[in-house]
């Protein structure tokens, strides 16, 4: 299932490029052959090759939106790559993108997973990330490939993320494709922005049950995708 939607996304890398802007698990549907298809292009944007990015009002679903898009409104195809990485983490871990029932600091799936991704890639010990409901019933080589791809897709820096074509090749070769883009797999950049701080404050206010939070940096936000 994980390899089907990114095949669809990789076909949008032509000219003009299509940027979906709302990649999330509920927008990936199964057809009669149980093949995954990306749906809901209501927020999609076209980008010409002459443009390195589009600056636009932030749209998307809370928990899936790339950090650079949230903070600056700059949209590229790497924004969709980040969102796809979050979907992969959902498949791997069985957790929601945002879960306010988790301990403080662990509400964000991506931030919770970062150190575990690094550990899993370095040690090949996968149990700390794998959905416990699987009860270890998974093919380790396939899960390891998913972890490698997810780690590359959710890098803070858009320029360090792979293109969707690279992601397709990584799944086809079960990890035989170079996704480093100048970084060791599992390595995470130092990232400090007002946007990330605002998200952390939002998670914590919600965890304490406060409804007085701002979502001004999202035009279309949802905690229940």
Whether 222 is in a domain gets the answer no
- Tokens (6 digits) for 54: 């589009």
pLDDT score for 220: 40
Give the chain's end-to-end CA distance (angstroms, integer).
19
Whether 9 is in a domain gets the answer yes
Whether 224 is in a domain gets the answer no
Whether 216 is in a domain gets the answer no
- Tokens (6 digits) for 212: 């007085």
User: Residues with catalytic annotation?
Assistant: 22
Whether 220 is in a domain gets the answer no
Whether 225 is in a domain gets the answer no
Q: Which residues pair with 18 in a beta bridge?
A: 46
pLDDT: is 72 or 82 the higher one?
82
* 33 contacts: CB under 8 Å, gap ≥ 6: none
Q: Kindly indicate the confidence band of residue 213, based on its pLDDT and cuts at 50, 70 and 90.
A: very low
pLDDT score for 53: 53
- Tokens (6 digits) for 37: 């298809």
Q: Which residue has the tokens 């899960």?
A: 143
Whether 186 is in a domain gets the answer yes
Whether 217 is in a domain gets the answer no
Structure confidence by residue, pLDDT tens digits, 191-200: 444 555 555 5
pLDDT score for 75: 83
* pTM for this prediction: 0.76
Domain span including residue 34: 3-207
* 141 contacts: CB under 8 Å, gap ≥ 6: 174, 175
- Tokens (6 digits) for 39: 């749906």
Q: What is the CATH number of the domain that holds 115?
A: 1.10.510.10
Report the domain count for the chain.
1
pLDDT score for 133: 96
Structure confidence by residue, pLDDT tens digits, 77-126: 899 999 999 999 999 999 999 998 988 888 999 999 999 999 999 999 99
């Amino acid at each position: 299932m994980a390899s089907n939607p990114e095949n669809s996304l990789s076909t949008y890398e032509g000219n003009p490029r299509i940027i979906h802007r709302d990649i999330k698990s509920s927008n990936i549907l199964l057809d009669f052959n149980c093949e995954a298809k990306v749906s809901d292009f209501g927020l999609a944007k076209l980008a010409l090759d002459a443009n390195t990015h589009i600056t636009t009002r932030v749209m998307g679903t809370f928990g899936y939106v790339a950090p650079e898009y949230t903070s600056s409104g700059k949209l590229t195809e790497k924004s969709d790559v980040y969102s796809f990485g979050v979907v992969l983490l959902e498949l791997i871990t069985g957790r929601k993108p945002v879960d306010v029932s988790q301990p403080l600091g662990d509400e964000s799936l991506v931030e919770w997973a970062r150190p575990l991704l690094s550990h899993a890639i370095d040690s090949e010990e996968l149990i700390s990330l794998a959905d416990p409901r699987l009860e270890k019933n998974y093919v380790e080589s396939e899960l390891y490939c998913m972890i490698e791809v997810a780690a590359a897709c959710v890098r803070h820096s858009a320029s360090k993320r792979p293109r969707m074509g690279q992601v397709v090749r990584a799944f086809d070769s079960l990890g035989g494709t170079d996704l480093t883009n100048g970084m060791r797999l599992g390595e995470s950049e130092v990232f400090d922005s007002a946007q990330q701080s605002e998200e952390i404050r939002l998670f914590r206010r919600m965890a304490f049950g406060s409804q007085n939070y701002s979502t001004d940096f999202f035009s279309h936000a949802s905690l229940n995708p």
